[in-house]
Amino acid sequence: MRYVKNSIIDRKVPFLDLRIIDDKLRQDILTAIEKVLLHGPVVLGPEVYELEKRVADYCSRKYAVGVGSGTDALFLGLKALGIGPGDEVITTPLSWIATANAIVLTGATPVFADISDDLNIDPDSIEELITERTKAILPVHFTGKICRMDEIMKIADQYGLMVIEDAAQAFGALYHGRRAGSFGVIACFSMNPMKIFGACGDAGMILTDDENIYNKLKALRHNGMVDRTKCIEISLNGRMDTLQAVILLEKLNYLDDIIYKRRERANWYREMLYDVVILPEEKKDEFDIYYTYTIKTTFRDELMHFLNVHGIETQIQHKCLIPLQPAYRTCAKGSFENAKGLVKQILSIPVNETLSKDDIYYVAGCIRKFFSK
């Protein structure tokens, strides 16, 4: 094997690396944290509002509301739109469980559409699921690739449905010149540490252009309180920490570089692996950020084991479709045959920006070696 230079035994390629190893970024963060510790307001301090403004600008939206997590963002976002018992929300069966949990927690019913080979919701499977109870479509930009939003927006327009983007995995991605988070009536982000634009703890954000929704969201993240005395709706405490906000403000300065590096690693994989497994594909006018680099093969489990033996950590995101989870036995509807097949083939391989070209070549070399047997 040309690409496997180092000894197999001691080489390790981790899937994730949550350390902040860039000395300058770490110093910038420490300085910013010290500022917060000295000025006091550690919850919803001025830096949260500064971050909201910068994120709204970045995604070309009018308003942003910082919340405690991506799950908060989805749950409070759905509540702000008045979605609740009796309503149906069409979404994807392949996502992090939080997407559907947020729907169920409002009292609404998730209806699961099918997915396409790009692992995102298949717009062609949505229409047949629409009933008089359907209120919204909740697409997830899975793996950091934006869904086919022109088709989804068209269906939503035609049937008078709201669109809520779960853009948790796609901060910075583009589709036909537009950013993730710029399509839906609201869009939800997670900034948990695993996300590419991640804090050092849980954080999330909701974007909208609608002033009424914006005002409602500000109350909803604060137990439904509009001021110190008046509660307009029963809700929870989902405010963003100022400490996470300052970390994110510093990280935002590095984000373009991080995305550039992930795309560079994706390109190296493409060059090395195009003829052995099914790779993620970028169409014209798409700009994916590779939250995960997810390949497809019918030898998935064997390949995963082989890579593990060679020190390469991989993940299956996710092994079980949401509607097939035990907790969803009684509350899931829909039809998703293609998803059932695809979920057996997916494998996410390391694409972290901290990995070297040598690391990526080692991973690719091991995959080639597996398929040459």
Return residues touching ligand PLP (CB under 6 A). Answer: 69-71, 95-96, 98-99, 140, 166, 168-169, 190, 192, 202, 204
**What are the DSSP calls for 16-58, one per residue?**
-------HHHHHHHHHHHHHHHHH---BS-HHHHHHHHHHHHH
Q: Token pair for residue 158?
A: 């035609």
Q: State in angstroms the smallest separation of the CB of 288 from ligand PLP.
A: 15
Q: What is the nearest approach in angstroms of ligand PLP to the Cβ of residue 267?
A: 23
Residue 114 or 202 having the CB closest to ligand PLP: 202
Number of H helices, E strands in the chain: 11, 13
Cα distance between residue 323 and residue 303, in whole Å: 26
Residue 267 three-state SS: helix
Q: Which is nearer to ligand PLP, 142 or 287 (CB)?
A: 142
Q: Which is nearer to ligand PLP, 73 or 367 (CB)?
A: 73
**Rounded to the nearest whole angstrom, what is the least distance from the CB of residue 132 to ligand PLP in the complex?**
28
Q: Which is nearer to ligand PLP, 173 or 367 (CB)?
A: 173
Nearest approach in angstroms of CB 251 to ligand PLP is 15
DSSP conformation letters of 120-179: SB-GGGTGGG--TTEEEEE-B-GGG----HHHHHHHHHHHT-EEEEE-TT-TT-EETTEE
Considering the complex, state which of residue 291 and residue 361 has its C-beta at the smaller distance from ligand PLP: 291
Between the alpha carbon of residue 10 and those of residues 50, 247, 365, 370, the distances in Å are 45, 34, 16, 19
Q: Can you tell me the distance from the alpha carbon of 163 to that of 181, in angstroms, rounded to the nearest whole number?
A: 11
**Nearest distance from C-beta of residue 140 to ligand PLP, angstroms:** 5
Nearer to ligand PLP, 141 or 310 (CB): 141
Minimum CB distance to ligand PLP smaller for 71 or for 348:
71
CB 199 within 8 A of CB 248: yes
Task: List all residues 6 or more positions away from 144 whose beta carbon is below 8 Å from its beta carbon.
Answer: 169, 170, 173, 196, 288, 289, 290, 291, 292
Q: How far is the CB of 73 from ligand PLP (least distance, A)?
A: 7
Least distance in angstroms from the C-beta of 368 to ligand PLP: 30
Tell me whether residue 106 or residue 367 sits nearer to ligand PLP (CB atom): 106
Smallest distance from ligand PLP to CB 75, Å: 9
Phi-psi category of residue 40: left, alpha or beta, with phi > 0 → left and psi -120 to 50 → alpha: left
